[in-house]
Amino acid sequence: MSTVRIGVIGAGIMGADHVNTLHRLVSGAVVTMVADIDEERAAAVIGALPDTRATGDPYALISDAEVDAVVVASHDTTHADLSIAAVRAGKPVLCEKPLAPTLEECVRVVREERRVAGPGISLGFMRRFDPAYQELKNAVAAGVCGAPLLLRCVSRGVSAAPGATDELSITGSAVHEFDTVPWLLDSPITEVSWHAPRSTGAATGLRDPQLMMLRTADGALTTVEVFLNAGYGYDIRCEVAGERGALALATPARVITDAARARSCGYPADWRPRFADAYRLQLQAWTDAMVSGTPSPLATAGDGLVASAVAEAVITSMRNGGRTVAVQVPEV
C-alpha cells in the first residue's frame, strides 16, 4: 500500500483539523471519506477536496471499500463503539483521546481489540510527537538532569469549552498529562490526589483551577495543574527536576516584540498553533507505519486504558476530600 485511504469520523474542530492536515501535509495519505451525524457539516469540511465523499453514517464509512483506515474524532461517547467497529472491519484506527469516557468501556475496547487481533487501535496522545516533548524526553533519557524527582505539568487555556465539568477537566484535559508523565519517565503512575484553590470567578460552577499530585513507580512526584479559564492564553508547561539538574519546555516563541514599554511574545488562543506539528507528525507516523506494514508507534488503546484508570483515581480523590488514591488498572 503506497497511499493510505483514510476516513475521518467527526467533522468538528478536531475532525476538520485532521482532514485538513492529512490532505495538505501528510505524505502517503489521502482522505477519501468524512462522516458526521450532521452530514452537511461533513460536506462543509470536505469543501473543495476533489475525491472525498461525505456521509452521515460513520458505520458506512468504516465498511467503505475505499477506506483503508479510520480516524475517530467524533464525540467522546462514540469512541468505543466506533473503534471496535473499525477493528472488527480489519481497519487500523486512530482514536482521539479519551478511548472512552468510562473505565469499563475502555476495558471493553481493549478486550475486543485483543480478541480480534487485527491491526489495532492507536490513541491520539499527540504530545508524544511534539518535537519539544520529544526533545525533553530524550534529554531525560540521556541523563541530562539525572534521575527525575519532581515534575510539574501545567495546562492552561483561555476559557473552558461549553459543557465543561469538574470531571471533564480531568478526563479531557489532565488525561494528556496522565499519558505524558509515564511516557516521559518510563514509569507508571501508582497513586494520586486531587486539590484545588478557590475557583476563578470566570468558572461558573466549576472547580477551576485544579491541582493534582501523582506518584510514579520510580518514586518521582508530579504536580499537574489544569486551569481551563486561565484567560491569558493557551499555555502548556512541563518541567523536570532531577538529581543533577532540571529541564523544562521553553516558551514557544518565534518573534519578540518591543512595543509600548514592554518586550513580549504571544500566546495562542487555543491548542491548534501549539500542537499543529504534533498532530501532523502523529498522523505522518501513523500513515508511515501503515504504508510500511510496521507496528504503529503511537500510543495504544492500552495506554488509553491506563490513562483513564489514572483519571478515575483522581476523580475518586476529588470526591473524597482530596485523599490519596491508588491507581488500579483493570486486568484485560
Span 191-230, contacts to a copy of itself by CB under 8 A = 195-202, 209, 211, 213, 215, 218-221, 223, 225, 227, 230
Would you call 57 exposed, middle or buried from its count of C-beta atoms within 10 A (0-12, 13-18, 19+)? middle
Strand arrangement of the beta sheet that strand 29-35 belongs to? 53-55, 29-35, 4-9, 69-72, 93-95, 121-123, 299-300
Q: Measured at the alpha carbon of residue 126, what is the angle toward residues 161 and 11, in degrees to the nearest 5?
A: 50
Q: Residue 117 or 250: which CB sits closer to a copy of itself? A: 250
Least distance from C-beta 154 to a copy of itself, angstroms?
8
Per-residue CA distances from 263 to 133, 224, 255, 256, 257 (Å): 26, 29, 11, 7, 6
> How many CB atoms neighbour CB 328 within 10 A?
13
Least distance from C-beta 10 to a copy of itself, angstroms?
21
Do residues 100 and 305 lie in contact, with contact meaning Cβ atoms separated by under 8 Å?
no
Which range in 22-30, 66-74, 111-119, 308-316 contacts a copy of itself by CB under 8 A? Answer: 22-30
Q: Measured at the alpha carbon of residue 16, what is the angle toward residues 15 and 21, in degrees to the nearest 5?
A: 100
> How many CB atoms neighbour CB 162 within 10 A?
5
Q: Residue 25 or 116: which CB sits closer to a copy of itself? A: 25
Q: Can residue 288 be called a binding residue for a copy of itself (CB under 8 A)?
A: yes
The correct pick among 59, 152, 188, 297 for binding a copy of itself (CB under 8 A) is 152
Site for a copy of itself in 35-54 (CB under 8 A): 50-51
Do residues 293 and 159 lie in contact, with contact meaning Cβ atoms separated by under 8 Å?
no
The correct pick among 77, 204, 257, 320 for binding a copy of itself (CB under 8 A) is 257
Closest CA to 205 of 154, 235, 163, 155: 163
Site for a copy of itself in 54-93 (CB under 8 A): none
The correct pick among 4, 236, 247, 313 for binding a copy of itself (CB under 8 A) is 247
Three cell numbers at 251? 516558551
Q: Can residue 294 be called a binding residue for a copy of itself (CB under 8 A)?
A: no
Q: How many residues bind a copy of itself (CB under 8 A)?
A: 78
Cα–Cα dist 26/280, whole Å: 7
Site for a copy of itself in 261-280 (CB under 8 A): 261-269
The correct pick among 100, 123, 132, 313 for binding a copy of itself (CB under 8 A) is 132
Least distance from C-beta 259 to a copy of itself, angstroms?
3
Cα–Cα dist 132/126, whole Å: 12
Q: Residue 200 or 316: which CB sits closer to a copy of itself? A: 200
Q: Residue 41 or 156: which CB sits closer to a copy of itself? A: 156
Q: Residue 209 or 304: which CB sits closer to a copy of itself? A: 209
Q: Is the peptide bond before 148 cis (omega within 30 degrees of 0)?
A: no
Cα–Cα dist 247/286, whole Å: 29
Q: Residue 41 or 207: which CB sits closer to a copy of itself? A: 207
Q: Residue 50 or 331: which CB sits closer to a copy of itself? A: 50
Which range in 5-13, 73-81, 108-116, 246-254 contacts a copy of itself by CB under 8 A? Answer: 246-254
Q: Measured at the alpha carbon of residue 131, what is the angle toward residues 295 and 5, in degrees to the nearest 5?
A: 40
Least distance from C-beta 103 to a copy of itself, angstroms?
26
Closest CA to 26 of 8, 44, 48, 53: 8
Q: Can residue 232 be called a binding residue for a copy of itself (CB under 8 A)?
A: yes
The correct pick among 1, 13, 147, 326 for binding a copy of itself (CB under 8 A) is 147
The correct pick among 146, 188, 297, 330 for binding a copy of itself (CB under 8 A) is 146
